Structure 1
């Protein structure tokens, strides 16, 4: 087996893992009225961190700021986020989770972390996988 074919096989497994994890949250997403894009945006809003600006969300989601505006509009309609002026610049808006948004995000995280094939690994195996993925992402400059 060449390194290229092993890398290809690993990438196929990563994609399959992503698909399986998405399958694990599909029911919760439907109950919450979320599309995959909305769920991803909600996932990116860490309740223990400072609310991100709209531009920071665009960077996290790897999309155009106008797309974040659309996602924020929909998440506001669902009462999951609120927009407010940023403390450092009132011309800039930040996205903050509401109580309903925290609850919805918590449901998504629980579904993802229990419904993923990674949950079947032992803690030691998860730590090894974490270390290897962190090393790969650091080498790629993606962390």
Structure 2
């Protein structure tokens, strides 16, 4: 097996894992009324960190800021987030999780961490995978 075909097979597995992760949380997403993109946005809103600006969310989600505006509008309609002026610049908006948003995020994280392929690995296997993925993401292509 040459390196290119191994890399391709690994990428196919990563893609398949993403799909299996979606399958594992699909019922929770449906109960919450969120799409994959909205679930990803909720995932990115760490309740223990400072609320991100809209631009920071765009960078985290690897999308255009106008897409974050659309996602934030929908999350606000669902009462999962509020937009507030950033403490450092009142012209900039940050996204803050509401209480119901914290609960929705908790439900998504719980489902993802208990009902997806990675959840089936032992702790040691998860640590090994974590180390390998971290190393891959730290390289030039992962930046």
Q: TM-score range by the shorter chain?
A: over 0.9
Measured on the aligned residues, the alpha-carbon RMSD in Å equals: 1.0
Range with bigger deviation, 86-95 or 107-116 = 107-116
CA distance in 2 between counterparts of 1:68 and 1:118 reads 28
* Aligned equivalents of 1:93, 1:76: Cα separation in 2: 13
Cα–Cα, structure 1 residues 101 and 62, in superposed 2: closer, same or farther, change >3 Å? Answer: same
For the residue of structure 1 that corresponds to 2:142, the secondary structure is coil
- Aligned equivalents of 1:63, 1:11: Cα separation in 2: 21
Q: Deviation digits for residues 90-139 of structure 1, max 9, x if unmatched?
A: 00000000000000000001111111111111100110010011011101
In the TM superposition, structure 1's runs of 4+ consecutive aligned residues that sit over 4 Å from their partners are none
Match of residue 63 from structure 2: 63
Q: Give how far 1:142 is off.
A: 3.3
Aligned match of 1:11: 11
Partner of 1:53: 53
- Higher deviation after alignment, 88-97 or 6-15: 6-15
What TM-score comes out, normalization by structure 1 length? 0.97
Q: 1:2 to 1:142 in 2, by over 3 A?
A: closer
Provide the aligned length of Structure 1 versus Structure 2: 143
Q: Aligned partners of 1:92 and 1:27: how far apart in 2?
A: 35
1:100 aligns with 2:117: no
What runs of 5+ residues in structure 2 fail to find an aligned partner?
none
Please give the residue correspondences for 1:1-143 in structure 2 after superposition, counting only pairs within 5 Å: 1-140=1-140, 142=142
Q: Name the TM-score, length of structure 2 as normaliser.
A: 0.97
